[in-house]
Structure 1
Amino acid sequence: MNPADLPPTAHNAPVCVAALYQFAPFADHAALRAPLAALCEAEGIKGTLLLAHEGINGTIAGTHSGISCVIAHIRALPGCGGLEVKYSGAREMPFLRMKVRLKNEIVTMGEPGTDPLATVGTYVAPEDWNALIADPATIVIDTRNDYEVAIGTFKGAIDPETASFREFPQWFREHRETLLGQGKAPRVAMFCTGGIRCEKSTAFLKQEGVEEVFHLKGGILKYLETVKPEDSLWQGECFVFDSRVSVGHGLEQGDYSLCYACRVPLSAQDRASPFYEEGVMCPHCHAARSEEQRERYRERHRQQQLAHARGEEHIGVNPKSGAREKTSDESPDAG
């Protein structure tokens, strides 16, 4: 890892966080899993990596040396020599465990035939992004999920209000005429957290016959790392799929936390609500939970606090099903 590649927040932070993806034609992605998982375990790395025939995606965290070893291993995989990584820092380990999973897609759109290796939109560098989206002839679309958009987005961007990336193709088809009109189609600029959803969404639009399609190279993370706050068109914070919850300019850890009952990002105003109880409920979910459920959440939170006091990790259990609680690092949309 070249220190010059690291943003200021990552230099002195005790934990290095690396967000990455690469579309690559893996002939046998299943065979790549065991060596990669073994290396991550040996280096003390935690997070999630997804492997599919179309490539690799994920976010991992650990020591700078450990992350360097894993990144070098991934870059040695077929088609991954040009892997770009978005580095940031964290005050403490943002993941509970390490998972290397086999998937049908490294980011799930569910649209057969969409192949970013065959066709994709035009990449726009962060320093050129402002001029593109400020042009009235450009339609700007945020391809992320509704709860991500709620805490921050680019000025003037359209929010599809989708709950998952799978809904994006249907949303676009339903709104295509309104978005593009009947005359010459305008430019379409799209963005996401790290760039991977835009690779798929721009490939999809090209497949649908839209010619002028652009996307932010490196995603919001690269923009926040590169563009100075005084020059920025970004408003709010950027949701990330780990325990930091959000980051701001310079990739500094943000002010949001997560409700462990409903998984919604919480602002300081949310936490000041009389309907907020740490680990139990928030203004978004208090009316949807029974008192029995809240008691279970309280017990889970108490056990987590006791484990933390002992210096141990506590992976929560879903009080309803008994299954392990789904954590943000399990999202396939980490990019």
Structure 2
Amino acid sequence: MYEVILYYNFSPVSEPEKFAKQHKKFCKELGLKGRIYVSSEGINGTAGGTKEQIQQYKDHLRSLPGFEDTEFKSDEADYIPFAKLICKVREEIVALHVDGVDPKEGGNHLSPAEWRNVMESGEDYVMIDVRNNYESKIGHFKGALKPDLENFYDFPQWLDEANIPKDKKVLMYCTGGIRCEKFSVLMKDKGWDDVNQLHGGILNYAKEEEGAHFEGKCFVFDDRLVVPVNPKDLAPIAHCEITGKPADTYVNCANMECNKLFVCSEEGAFQMEGCCSEECMKSEYRRPFDPENAFRPFRKWYNYFGEDFKARNEASAATPSKS
């Protein structure tokens, strides 16, 4: 069994390039895989490895000045859902494209229990899903506003046009909490006073409150793509874009020139051989369809359509299970 972590920390980094280079070297020597982004404002990452590797990584990051209080959201997986290790420098660890946003000036953090209590109290509030449309499409809290946006940096304009009363109690959530750290600051700067964010995001809430009042599943940025939140409500709320039937599995179109991420059922994937349209099925740049490997237990279509899918399958098949 392996462990997957999601984390961030807004702690100033004086030399991001140097930090990232040293950090990547450590992770590579440790054997970690994942995606880690560093900027002058801090670090944001998701990674996978054995429990021993992950513990060593946690200890290492927390040993660095300014990162002692880093919080990690953890999950178990039967494989490492990353093809390789990426550690890059970015302008922002989460891109809102608004100057002067200090996460230390953000909203009130509600624990999962406090969040649930507000939802069940009958209190008047507006809840905002601070994620992209393809994320909220397959899972969200009941009653939440779900902006039809493709990028986080589109949220400031959406907020200006949303007509949310300034005297409303605001609840906001995202996958692990990082987007709320910035968006809550923006809302306070624009005049909202009672701004609250779900501490640790959906993933933390799933662990602490078993996903109560959450419908569907949670999109994650690794090869799993989708993870369950509420064990009492696992039914898909989205629909296959090929067959129209309930589905919550995402697929990257097999046409490499398209590569569209879309909701697709097994039936739809077989019908279109992994493509999103008949036009893409005719493409000379289409990845081959391999139905025998496409639905291995616990693996998502995304793994198959990744260019290194076969190499990873062969490697995992040759490695004895550690579960």
What letter corresponds to residue 291 of structure 1 in structure 2?
Answer: K
Change (3 A) 1:308 1:100: closer
The 2-side partners of 1:271 and 1:59 are apart by 28
Alignment partner of 1:211 out of 185, 189, 193? 193
Secondary structure (helix, strand or coil) at the match of 1:179 reads coil
The 1-side partners of 2:133 and 2:112 are apart by 23
Q: Which residue of 2 aligns with 1:311?
A: 315
Range 32-41 or range 234-243, more displaced: 32-41
Counterparts of residues 1-335 of structure 1 (less than 5 Å): 14-117=1-104, 119-134=105-120, 135-175=122-162, 178-180=163-165, 185-228=167-210, 232-249=212-229, 256-261=248-253, 262-264=259-261, 266=263, 270-273=265-268, 276-278=271-273, 280-281=274-275, 285-286=276-277, 289=280, 291-293=282-284, 296-298=286-288, 306-308=310-312, 310-311=314-315
- 1:288, distance to aligned residue in structure 2 (A): 5.8
Change (3 A) 1:123 1:288: farther
Secondary structure (helix, strand or coil) at the match of 1:123 reads strand
What letter corresponds to residue 286 of structure 2 in structure 1?
Answer: R
Secondary structure (helix, strand or coil) at the match of 1:237 reads strand
What letter corresponds to residue 289 of structure 1 in structure 2?
Answer: C
Q: Which residue of 1 aligns with 2:321?
A: none
Q: Is the 8 A contact 2:217 2:230 kept in 1?
A: no
What letter corresponds to residue 283 of structure 2 in structure 1?
Answer: E
What letter corresponds to residue 261 of structure 2 in structure 1?
Answer: V
Alpha-carbon displacement from aligned partner over 1:248-299 (angstroms, at most 9, x marks no partner): 1379xx88443121453535xx322377445x31xxx315636125x52227
Q: Number of aligned pairs? A: 284
Q: Name the TM-score, length of structure 1 as normaliser.
A: 0.78
Q: Which residue of 2 aligns with 1:3?
A: none
Q: Which residue of 2 aligns with 1:9?
A: none
- 1:228, distance to aligned residue in structure 2 (A): 3.1
Change (3 A) 1:89 1:78: same
Change (3 A) 1:190 1:61: same
Q: Is the 8 A contact 1:152 1:234 kept in 2?
A: yes
What letter corresponds to residue 238 of structure 1 in structure 2?
Answer: C
Alpha-carbon displacement from aligned partner over 1:60-115 (angstroms, at most 9, x marks no partner): 00011111121122112232111100010111110000011101100001011111
The 1-side partners of 2:173 and 2:306 are apart by 39
The 2-side partners of 1:276 and 1:219 are apart by 36
Secondary structure (helix, strand or coil) at the match of 1:272 reads helix
Change (3 A) 1:155 1:40: same
Q: Is the 8 A contact 1:140 1:158 kept in 2?
A: yes
- 1:20, distance to aligned residue in structure 2 (A): 0.4
Q: Is the 8 A contact 2:2 2:80 kept in 1?
A: yes
Aligned-residue Cα RMSD (Å) equals: 2.6
Secondary structure (helix, strand or coil) at the match of 2:156 reads helix
Runs (5+) with no aligned partner, structure 1: 1-13, 314-335
The 2-side partners of 1:305 and 1:202 are apart by 39
What letter corresponds to residue 164 of structure 2 in structure 1?
Answer: L
Alpha-carbon displacement from aligned partner over 1:214-271 (angstroms, at most 9, x marks no partner): 0000000000011135xx11111001111111111379xx88443121453535xx32
- 1:25, distance to aligned residue in structure 2 (A): 1.5
Secondary structure (helix, strand or coil) at the match of 1:100 reads strand
Q: Which has the higher contact order (CA 8 A, sep 6+)?
A: 1
The 1-side partners of 2:181 and 2:261 are apart by 26
Runs (5+) with no aligned partner, structure 2: 235-246, 254-258, 290-303, 318-323
Secondary structure (helix, strand or coil) at the match of 2:6 reads strand
Q: Is the 8 A contact 2:215 2:230 kept in 1?
A: no
Secondary structure (helix, strand or coil) at the match of 1:289 reads helix
Q: Is the 8 A contact 1:225 1:250 kept in 2?
A: no
Identical columns (%)? 31
